Structures are given as structure tokens and as C-alpha cells.
Amino acid sequence: MSIFTIDEVRKTFTNGEVKEEILKGVNLSLQEGEVTALTGASGSGKSTLLTIAAGLQSASDGQVIFEGENLTAMKPEHVRKIRAGKFGFVFQFAHLVTFLTVEEQLLLMLDVSGSKLNKQERKREIDKMLKLVEMDHRKTAYPTSLSGGEKQRVAIARAIIHQPKILFADEPTASLDSKRSKDVMALIRDLTRKLNIAALVVTHDEEMLSFADKIIKMSDGQIVQKI
Ligand SMILES: Nc1ncnc2c1ncn2[C@@H]1O[C@H](COP(=O)(O)OP(=O)(O)OP(=O)(O)O)[C@@H](O)[C@H]1O
Ligand SMILES: [Mg+2]
């Protein structure tokens, strides 16, 4: 059974008198331990779909089923709790907090997610995670002293420190050069497998698709190809 299913999701925006259907009945499912890439032209609806999947905005119709529960029918407070505790996020830019060190970024995320770990366990988890993304040697560094690729590695560690079930990434490599992009995608793929996370990664970079287990192509609000 899939851990995450999107069923006939539609999204309509109204601009004045004009109604526009941006998602036209989208279906997909995510499996644990797999990276699913979501690709397609600019404006095809990738980010809209990802934000609906993550409960960041509501669908106009359809269902988003996570662990057997329908996110689209839940109270906002319940969705917020699932998002903080069970989902992880990576975006185009790392969005690190400028006045926190690398390890403090991760500590903050543990707080936000409502982690039950004590101080010592938190430190151990953070050290382990920073080793996994090969940033343990910079744990007391501030973001301004990190390269773009290093910042993104910290952002990935922060996205999964609380052991989420689903990782949502919207163009995680768009601000990086080709070599660093491949490193970041390889890292996402490796961590997804190792930690048994289901990842949904939006990218319009063809080169990144080789790191995906499944590829879903969107065009004009619809899925046109599943590989
Ligand atoms: N809040 C909104 N109100 C009205 N239209 C919107 C809104 N959000 C998105 N859209 C429109 O929906 C369409 C899909 O947008 P979306 O951001 O999902 O595309 P995308 O595939 O992620 O594109 P890109 O590759 O450029 O990031 C676009 O035409 C966009 O203008
Ligand atoms: Mg987008």
C-alpha cells in the first residue's frame, strides 16, 4: 500500500470573473524508500500540486491521503501537526536562519516538530544527521560562511532531522551549478533509501531525473506521463 496518495485533485483559481482550473484531476502515489520526480514546463502546476500535497494550500476537489487519513477533510490544526511532525521540506534556496549555527538550525527543527528527545539524544541525532550529509565538520558555522551546496546540505539535514515520512522538495537544485546539483540529488536519493522516506521532488532539470525511481510529467494541470 502507498503511504501517500493523491486522488483526483483539482485546483481552481478565480481571477475576477475568470475561473481557471490549474489542476485538472491529478492522481499519483508515493512509496517509501523512493524518489518520485515531478517535472514539466513552467506553469504546468508542479508547485501547486506539491503545496496541496503538503497541506500548505487546500484542493478545490479530490483527496490527499496520508497514512490512511484524508488531509483535505482535516481541521487545519491537525494538518499543521502532521506537517510539522511527519513532513520535511526543501526549497530552491536553503532559507537557513542567519543568526543560528548549523547545529542550531537542526535543534530548532526538532523543537518545531515537537520532538520528545532529551538534550543528549538531540545532540546525538544532530551529530548523526550532519555526518550523513557530510557537514559535521561545520556544525558551529553560521550560514554566511557556507557555500550554496553546503547550505542546501544543511537544509536537507534540517528537513529530515525529525524523521519525517514524506520529503517534499520544490526545485532543490535550481540555485546550484551542475556538479552541486547532482551531489544534492544523489544525497536526497541516498537518504530517501536509507531512512525509508517517500520523496516528491519537483525539478525541471532533465539531468536530475536520473536520480529518481519514478518520473511524473505534468502539462497544463494534468499528468501526461508516468515512468
Ligand atoms: N494563487 C494563485 N492564484 C492564481 N493563479 C495561480 C496561483 N498560484 C498559481 N497560479 C497559476 O497556476 C499555474 C501553475 O503554477 P505553478 O506555480 O504550480 O507552476 P509550476 O509548474 O510550479 O511552474 P514553475 O516551473 O515556473 O515553478 C500558473 O499559471 C500560475 O500562474
Ligand atoms: Mg514551481
CA distances from 147 to 48, 98, 126, 177, 189 (A): 29, 14, 20, 12, 21
CA distances from 169 to 21, 49, 193, 201 (A): 24, 12, 16, 5
What was the pLDDT predicted at 38?
97
What was the pLDDT predicted at 182?
94
Phi-psi region of 61 (alpha: psi -120 to 50; beta: other; left: phi over 0): beta
For residue 49, the ligand closest to its alpha carbon is: 1
In short, whether 72's Cβ falls inside 6 Å of ligand 1 is no
Report DSSP letters for 179-217, one per residue: HHHHHHHHHHHHHHHHTT-EEEEE---GGGGGG-SEEEE
Residue 67 has pLDDT above 80, yes or no: yes
In short, whether 165's Cβ falls inside 6 Å of ligand 1 is no
What pTM did the predictor assign? Answer: 0.95
Question: Average pLDDT for residues 131-151, to the nearest whole number?
Answer: 95
- Letter string b/e over residues 130-156, b meaning 16 or more CB atoms within 10 A of that residue's CB: bebbebbebbeebbeebeebbbbbbbb
For domain 2-226, the CATH superfamily is P-loop containing nucleotide triphosphate hydrolases (3.40.50.300)
Residue 110 has pLDDT above 90, yes or no: yes
Provide the pLDDT confidence category of residue 152 given band limits of 50, 70 and 90.
Answer: very high
Distance CA 66, CA 207 (A): 30
CA of 217 to the centre of ligand 2 (A): 13
Provide the pLDDT confidence category of residue 15 given band limits of 50, 70 and 90.
Answer: confident
* Domain ranges for the chain: 2-226
Residue nearest to atom 25 of ligand 1 (CA): 42
What was the pLDDT predicted at 167?
97
Residue 71 has pLDDT above 90, yes or no: yes
What was the pLDDT predicted at 183?
92
Distance CA 58, CA 12 (A): 10
Distance CA 138, CA 146 (A): 9
Mean pLDDT of the chain: 95
Question: Average pLDDT for residues 122-128, to the nearest whole number?
Answer: 96
Residue 185 has pLDDT above 90, yes or no: yes
Question: Average pLDDT for residues 98-115, to the nearest whole number?
Answer: 95
In short, whether 47's Cβ falls inside 6 Å of ligand 1 is yes
Most ligand 1 atoms within 8 A of CB, residue of 9, 47, 56, 204 to mutate: 47
CA angle, residues 68, 13, 95, in degrees to nearest 5: 70
In short, whether 45's Cβ falls inside 6 Å of ligand 1 is yes
